[in-house]
Structure 1
């Protein structure tokens, strides 16, 4: 230690925190400094020297600005870039804001044509005859292709929904059909033959073109005359109308338009309708789920940036009071002094902002790839204006945060600044120190507890930074727990102890227990919070695993797999020792008015009530004619709990009352679930393909699987543990992003504490020498320094944890709404008392981690050197 300030291990002088380098020698009026010369060159050297010497503070500001800008660029970029392709393609095709299906027995084509003049309708197309047909193709044994929505339409070019022909040409005569891209079977090309069910058997059609309807108005198109020949005998006739509205930017606006077009029609004429917002939501599904939590991290990072930069600049001013006086004495104006401190914050912040833009764009690449695949577009990038506006806005916040303490430095009187220097005000915190000395704790602890009261404003802002760190950790733990809970809760078929499938895989192992998962799974597995994308044609989960894809598709590899006889599988389950209870499920596809393509229908045999399915609202079905459905189905059909929906297939129909909303992420949230007896009149031949088994009390699952698979091996089925599940790739990406953003926030909070403790320790280095002279050991010195931040960390953690819980409870429902899913409370309430206590202690850990380095420096400082410091 020397008279000029503290020294490092080698005896070289350590720059004061926040010190501004002295101006070069020379007259204040020589053109380099002072009012006459403008001070540009000297001021720049002062700023650069200050940035170079304050390395810790510089790193803190670079990191916090980098994180804030990266998260903001990512959140805003995903929101804008993911919506761009759909909206552009939709506008180019004049897509339908509302696709409506009307009962031809209750309304005429002339009446429907007149709805084009309804209030709020900008354009309309139709009426077109529409029917739900099954188009046959080769597939795995026992699996029937789902129905497809076929529209009779003479031309692709219409005022609404100008279908884009991707290949071939439009159908011009009977026997021809145009397929929508999402309904295209693998291997189907222009000229291929497909079979559609007609009143006199199967009719062969030639594929003349492949077209794309961004609004998802149909699966296929034929001439109107051809459709009448294909219609199933006894089936109700329907018309399709396509509308564009003057205002369709919100669900309420679309609902108002729907009400307007159906106002003058007979009751029951409107069978169903599909909003373009539902189609858009499915298209943007997985990317939309990222936006709420990334935006939350961005706001946390921005708040921390403002706090930390304020702390750093304020600390620099407090630590350099005497130097500020010297700068003024040699000719620097108050304005130049203020600009110097703003500049010292702006330089590292600019570097952090630049790096943040790069990091944000890199993180967006895997998520935007999904949108590229869905719309077959060229490489998507975050818009340039976001890369410009976000960092500029962040730098504006930096300037605003630095301006207050910088102007305080500018207003300091030269004489007062030179004389006072960096000596703390007399008596600051000493009264509190005296009170704490009376506590029955070691003196090093009481001294540490009193330290924050010497600089209460600095302690408060440091506590805020630590509190944001605790908030981020709490938020991240909740997000991670909820995401895993959502994946488990969102698969209604993953209940019970054991799942038995009738569709085994060639060479499937005898045992498929936990960790040995080679047999096909139950599927219907969602991502988070939604599943699939526009490009998957609506096939997800079990469909993909069993060879059932988009309408009429087949995957090929399982064509040689013969499903086991469900009766034999059920007999094996009954005969197996350890079986408690069980129920079976089968899956098919039916038609619902207004919904394009086939709607998945899962039928149950046996008592499935109370099996563990998660209900968002209402209850599980318990009587004939009752059903449950997920949120997206309710949105797509406009139905509510208590309403009745009509399912149709091959001219047969069944009316089901919706008694509950189930949390189901499979099949794009469109699967209806009901008892087999309730839908026997429309799908009498559905075969059970899965059985869910609950084991008897005390039964070992591994032994049970071994015994049951021994029986099933001969008949082709396979049993697996119900808790075997693959983690969604979307969840993996989310968890990785959450972990990275949280780690960066915690590191920034630790560096903020480090910066504060360095300032406090160096300001009190003379006091430290006195304590050492009176007998304070290095261990006691470390204890004193760590205690000075531990109390602050404890208070900050106690405040940050409940704020993190509140943020989590706000963001999770927003993620669900962004993907058209209502997330149940059980998947959100993931914080237990023990976890909350541990999270509250996270503030202490963050504070202690940041204080360790300066505590070690204080412990190693020699007594004589400390006492010689002014």
Structure 2
């Protein structure tokens, strides 16, 4: 045991940098995996906790005011109901912020779909103008108990008495109105009613919706929302961040395992004589294997323990969403187990790859075998010989020959170095795609910057004139958005009519063509998946009592409503309803215009008749991904550095046998050094080329697959430009050359006696 420890200590002193990089890389990998686990837990658990405590309804139906909702209690599978509650759509304002809300009248605190009070108290009959706000809406309005809300265009005010969490779909500016609970007296002229159904079997949600629509009639149903939609919206970007961290963490773990495998293999080839001596003095093959295995397991264990300790102690202090996620995750029942299982799994994986490489050390013969005199690469190729005849510097020719003629070993080195570089290219593609959402939103389905809703007192012509009068408004597209029942009547989708045939709305198309003729429409990926249709198909939907049949001629990139949107022109919808008037306007601004300033100016000009919102950019919720990408690139760079040091060490050792021959033919130490540097640079350049060639299409496939899964659709991926790729490749090659220069120079200046002992 003492001899084994002395051997391990000597090896550690020789390879201190490699050991440090391995510890740091393992720590980075485990931190990534732990953060991914935390984000998955954070994405799912809070909503599930609220849904359970609130006894949430599995289906919410928005119906006409006179619909006989009492019949729904008799449906099979309905355990209990919430409501019906009278509702009214209004706009409220607080501290300069405005929001569209659904005012819901309820005399008592519901037992199903029960709002969970987080601050303040529930409604009190002694305060007839008191309201309770859903928590996200309260944050958007910067409102808290005691504040007063105004209703623009009227003298009415509402007093916030409480803020509550709800398991229903949350407030999203311009898409989903916020929930406001009030006494029935505060909803004097309801425009509809809402009822919630809690089912005995949540998996029967689609069937329950079908039965409800059959009982009430399609014309009585305005909108349907289910618990599955609410859960998916609540998970949102957190789940995406978790997937990114998990994917890159696993990829980095594989890259680290391969790097360790290559490092041990190279070290074994360089210490064959020492291993033979160990066996000659009594070491068994098992002991030799255990020396390498325990040594690298110790490095991995140090990194994993450090990562777990840092995540536990400092994870919740990370600013932003990552810190919130870790803080919530640490309070979940399974967090302690994950804090042990994830690092243990990483250590075991590295141990498995270490064991495979160390097994070769156990097979080394106790009798040293002389190295072959001829180089493994064989003779120079005809091209190399002709290049030498053309007076190409011999260092370049021999370096290239040394890098690529030992094919199995060279290909293995290139493959191990390619993997971290490939993942870096994928990470850079993710960064570039996010930047594209900010720099060119019109290319990813966001051609307009503002969404405006005008009240009924403002005519269409007056509204457009008021909007287009602003000097920074380039175009105002009138439109309507209604909820439509899909075939089978199991869910509702968003049906939009935007723009006219004379002034078509500038949709961002990823497939097909624009909708120009009558009954033509474009649809988002989420709608195509929901209805199981493709571009070129006809779809039928129901808006109230009126059927609407549309021909899908193109697929648009739709960042809103999970892509469950079908869009046509306002003129097409007016063919079924000539009296249809626009209720919203999408505004395209001049380049460089500040949407917030234009929104404030329009709200002031409208004098309460305009409800102006900035269009939500999905990339705004992915800002933590930038820091994640930078951290992952750093971890992958460490892994690449480990493999690079291994490749340099192997190249230097393999060149020792040729040192005497190179000096004999008259090459100077500087030229011999250049051979090793050239070999290292060629190997790294090959890895960069392969990583770029494979990484770009892989990144496009992964990002587009995520786009399809989220409903936005494929076509959003954007790879890094040459301005980023060329510096990456140049830095990798230049770094390899710089790292190889010192050990190559030392090896070239070794004494002949040392060289003879190394070759013997």
* TM superposition score normalised by structure 2: 0.76
User: C-alpha displacement at 1:239, in angstroms?
Assistant: 4.6
Task: Name the counterpart of 1:125.
Answer: 81
Cα distance between partner residues in 2 of 1:683 and 1:368: 48
Change in Cα spacing, 1:591 to 1:173, as seen in structure 2 (3 Å) is farther
Which structure features the higher share of helix residues?
Answer: 2
- Point out the structure with max Rg over C-alpha: 1
Task: Name the counterpart of 2:628.
Answer: 737
User: C-alpha displacement at 1:211, in angstroms?
Assistant: 3.4
Is the 1:654–1:681 Cα contact (8 Å) retained in structure 2?
A: no
For residues 723-762 of structure 1, what are the structure 2 equivalents within 5 Å? Answer: 730=621, 732-762=623-653
Is the 1:603–1:676 Cα contact (8 Å) retained in structure 2?
A: yes
Task: Name the counterpart of 2:504.
Answer: 609
Task: Name the counterpart of 2:611.
Answer: none
Task: Name the counterpart of 1:392.
Answer: 344
For residues 795-806 of structure 1, what are the structure 2 equivalents within 5 Å? Answer: 795-806=686-697
User: C-alpha displacement at 1:783, in angstroms?
Assistant: 3.0
Cα distance between partner residues in 1 of 2:36 and 2:699: 17
Where 1:132 maps in the other structure, the secondary structure is: strand
Change in Cα spacing, 1:746 to 1:395, as seen in structure 2 (3 Å) is same
What per-residue deviation string (whole Å, max 9, x for no partner) do you get for residues 139-167 of structure 1? 87xx9963x33444443242x32222342
Task: Name the counterpart of 1:47.
Answer: 8
What per-residue deviation string (whole Å, max 9, x for no partner) do you get for residues 236-265 of structure 1? x545232345344xxxx7435534655666
- Given candidates 772, 775, 779, the residue that maps to 2:666 is 775
- Given candidates 241, 252, 255, the residue that maps to 2:196 is 241
User: C-alpha displacement at 1:431, in angstroms?
Assistant: 2.6
Cα distance between partner residues in 1 of 2:584 and 2:305: 60
Change in Cα spacing, 1:478 to 1:136, as seen in structure 2 (3 Å) is closer
For residues 354-753 of structure 1, what are the structure 2 equivalents within 5 Å? Answer: 354-357=305-308, 369-370=320-321, 383-414=335-366, 416=367, 419-420=368-369, 423-427=370-374, 429-433=376-380, 438-441=385-388, 442-452=393-403, 456-488=407-439, 490-491=441-442, 523=449, 567=465, 570=468, 583-585=475-477, 604=499, 607-609=502-504, 611=506, 613-616=507-510, 620=514, 622=516, 642-644=539-541, 646=543, 662-665=556-559, 690=587, 692=589, 730=621, 732-753=623-644
Unaligned runs of 5+ in 2: 171-177, 456-461, 607-615
For residues 53-72 of structure 1, what are the structure 2 equivalents within 5 Å? Answer: 53-72=14-33
Is the 2:207–2:490 Cα contact (8 Å) retained in structure 1?
A: no
Change in Cα spacing, 1:565 to 1:178, as seen in structure 2 (3 Å) is closer
Is the 1:490–1:665 Cα contact (8 Å) retained in structure 2?
A: no
Is the 1:63–1:748 Cα contact (8 Å) retained in structure 2?
A: no
For residues 247-396 of structure 1, what are the structure 2 equivalents within 5 Å? Answer: 247-248=202-203, 254-259=205-210, 262=213, 266=217, 268=219, 270-357=221-308, 369-370=320-321, 383-396=335-348
For residues 789-828 of structure 1, what are the structure 2 equivalents within 5 Å? Answer: 789-816=680-707, 820-825=710-715, 827-828=716-717
Is the 1:66–1:352 Cα contact (8 Å) retained in structure 2?
A: yes
Task: Name the counterpart of 2:122.
Answer: 169
The answer on 1:111 being equivalent to 2:82 is: no
User: C-alpha displacement at 1:603, in angstroms?
Assistant: 5.8
What per-residue deviation string (whole Å, max 9, x for no partner) do you get for residues 493-534 of structure 1? 9989xxxxxxxxxxxxxxxxxxxxxxxxx745xxxxxxxxxx
Where 1:72 maps in the other structure, the secondary structure is: helix
Cα distance between partner residues in 1 of 2:152 and 2:483: 16
Where 1:764 maps in the other structure, the secondary structure is: helix
Change in Cα spacing, 1:75 to 1:666, as seen in structure 2 (3 Å) is same
Task: Name the counterpart of 1:91.
Answer: 52
Cα distance between partner residues in 1 of 2:165 and 2:381: 79
User: C-alpha displacement at 1:785, in angstroms?
Assistant: 1.2
Task: Name the counterpart of 1:851.
Answer: 740
Is the 1:170–1:178 Cα contact (8 Å) retained in structure 2?
A: yes
Change in Cα spacing, 1:145 to 1:434, as seen in structure 2 (3 Å) is closer
Cα distance between partner residues in 1 of 2:269 and 2:259: 15
Is the 1:150–1:220 Cα contact (8 Å) retained in structure 2?
A: yes
Change in Cα spacing, 1:571 to 1:369, as seen in structure 2 (3 Å) is closer
Is the 1:307–1:461 Cα contact (8 Å) retained in structure 2?
A: no
Cα distance between partner residues in 2 of 1:81 and 1:331: 55
User: C-alpha displacement at 1:310, in angstroms?
Assistant: 0.9
Is the 2:320–2:624 Cα contact (8 Å) retained in structure 1?
A: no
User: C-alpha displacement at 1:174, in angstroms?
Assistant: 10
Where 1:189 maps in the other structure, the secondary structure is: coil
Where 1:230 maps in the other structure, the secondary structure is: coil
Equivalent residue pairs, number: 713
Is the 1:646–1:656 Cα contact (8 Å) retained in structure 2?
A: no
Cα distance between partner residues in 2 of 1:484 and 1:683: 39
- Given candidates 126, 140, 145, the residue that maps to 1:189 is 145
User: C-alpha displacement at 1:831, in angstroms?
Assistant: 6.8
Cα distance between partner residues in 2 of 1:489 and 1:405: 49
Where 2:703 maps in the other structure, the secondary structure is: helix
The answer on 1:231 being equivalent to 2:178 is: no
Change in Cα spacing, 1:88 to 1:239, as seen in structure 2 (3 Å) is closer
User: C-alpha displacement at 1:312, in angstroms?
Assistant: 1.5
User: C-alpha displacement at 1:275, in angstroms?
Assistant: 2.2
Cα RMSD between the aligned structures?
5.3
Where 2:81 maps in the other structure, the secondary structure is: strand
Cα distance between partner residues in 2 of 1:682 and 1:637: 29
User: C-alpha displacement at 1:468, in angstroms?
Assistant: 1.0
Cα distance between partner residues in 2 of 1:682 and 1:362: 63
